[in-house]
Amino acid sequence: MSIKNKLSMTIGISLLWLPAFGFSAYSQDTPVDSTVTPARVVENHIFGQGEQFKYNVSYGIVPAGTAGFEITPDLVTYRGVECYNIHTWAYSAKSFDLFFKVRDEVHSYMDARGIFTWYFQKSLKEGRYHDVKIVDYDQQAGLAYTNDDGVPTDTSQIPMFVQDALSALYYFRLQPLEVGKSLYIQIHDIKKTYPMRIDVLGYETIDVPAGTFKCFKVEPVLESAGIFKSKGRIFLWFTDDEYRIPVLMKTKVLIGSIVAYLKEWKKGTPILFEK
């Protein structure tokens, strides 16, 4: 693996779950009547507008950059539906910019009532490599339309309430966790829907710049061969409290590991819907 690839993986820690994370197969859903959107309301008292996570990213002991997740303060309307605008970013440190500059950003429009995806955009700027992919999810028709650098490239079938992996992170935070149990999922990544199993491995106390937290340790695993194998194993630690804060992310590579440590968290304001 070249140094550029290592740095790209390092700075892209916030994107690691974009092929590697998913949502639970069981939920706290309550069907509702709706003529605009697939009929589902997911109870959510955890996250909402203005929530933000910021991370320090390192490759071994070497500081490599920063990454973060946020739900923007303003809702967006897409396909006539109110959505949370989830934004994640990964930036290389100034010390790396001189020879390999990274500016990666992702947006996901997530149904504020049902916590599923309507729109996904990934913009990667890594050295000389630039790439923009957009996926438009027609949840009513069961189709996902992929656009690559402005060119339509794929139309694929999707199950109702499918997640992209970024919105799936938020859906996962709403699920009950138990050590030794697994959650089973389906996740759509650009052109395909992948089966995913999320194992709850253990219970640990984690120290990060943001503080000390009691956490569940989880690992997302693809049920079939594919993209996950080339990226190594990924582990995530979520707080054992009502907020399920992702405080630590770690992926093992050929030599050492890439780690993102939570340095700052800002609570958001959930939108509460009638069932």
What confidence score (pLDDT) does residue 231 get? 52
d(CA 191, CA 175): 26
Nearest alpha-carbon partner for 5 in 231, 186, 247: 231
Question: Mean pLDDT across the chain, nearest whole number?
Answer: 82
Question: Which tens digit of pLDDT belongs to each residue from 227-246?
Answer: 333 356 889 999 999 999 99
Lowest mean pLDDT among 46-60, 112-126, 246-260: 246-260
135, 144 contact by CB (below 8 A): yes
What confidence score (pLDDT) does residue 61 get? 81
Q: Where are the beta strands (DSSP E) in the chain?
A: 29-30, 41-42, 52-59, 62-71, 76-78, 81-92, 103-111, 117-126, 129-138, 143-148, 151-157, 182-189, 192-208, 211-222, 234-239, 246-252, 257-266
Question: Which tens digit of pLDDT belongs to each residue from 87-142?
Answer: 999 998 888 788 778 899 999 999 999 999 999 999 988 888 899 999 999 999 99
Tokens representing 160 are 């109702």
- pTM to 2 decimal places: 0.84
